[in-house]
Amino acid sequence: MPALAPSWDTLYALAVAQAGHFTTVQAAEAGYSSPLLHKYLANGKVVRVRRGIYRLVHFPSSEDEDLVVCWLWSDRKGVFSHETALVRHELSDLLPHELEMTVPASWRQRRLRVPEGLRLHFADLGSIDRSWFGAVPITAPARTVRDCAAAGVSPEFIEQAVEQGLARGLFSVNDVANALPAGAAP
């Protein structure tokens, strides 16, 4: 079978949807062999961000590139969750010290080299539990609040998130009832 001719338009379209980033696999699917990708590295059209993940040099940077890189590391299977999603949904003024991502439950058995600054949680998420933040998936607001409560996030941040979510119509009291601290009023 003949090799696929490289298509800059295909590679660029993939990268645009991912804040200027792409993976080695995606490059191959766009017709870029490893030697050709190395040529682009050498001439400065792309830079290696981490093993198997690249960035178009002239693509405008964004403040959430770290999310895109971690998502691509997860082979686009991970969903940002817990405190990371809480902040992205603007439900709390919590300042997390690391990114949190939920990956499929079956990954618990894998030996993973997790990027520094990323904490994994393992669960199978349905489409109702997902939403998007720019180029990356994050857990839906109600799921985010429930996850944070189950993970032991401080009750004042949970109450703040519930108040914010209810005020903005992101979920109902029933959606987050089990996340509320005992005695807290919605």
What is the per-residue pLDDT for 181? 64
What is the per-residue pLDDT for 185? 56
Read out DSSP for 30-97? TT--HHHHHHHHHTTSEEEEETTEEEETTSPP-TTHHHHHHHHHTTT--EE-HHHHHHHTT------S
Whether pTM > 0.85 for this model: the answer is yes
pLDDT digits (tens, 9 = 90+) for 53-103: 999 999 998 888 999 999 999 999 999 999 999 999 999 999 999 999 999
pLDDT above 60 (res 183): no
Q: Among residues of the chain, what percentage have pLDDT more than 70? A: 95
Q: What tokens were used for 185?
A: 């009023």
pLDDT above 80 (res 34): yes
pLDDT above 80 (res 171): yes
What mean pLDDT comes out for the span 21-31?
95
CA distance 80 to 103: 9
CA distance 4 to 179: 51
Helix axes 155-167, 141-150, angle to 10 degrees: 170
CA angle 150, 176, 138 (to 5 degrees): 70
Residue type, 100: E
Mean pLDDT estimate for the chain: 92
What is the per-residue pLDDT for 1? 47
CA distance 56 to 16: 9
Helix (H) or strand (E) holding 22: strand 21-23
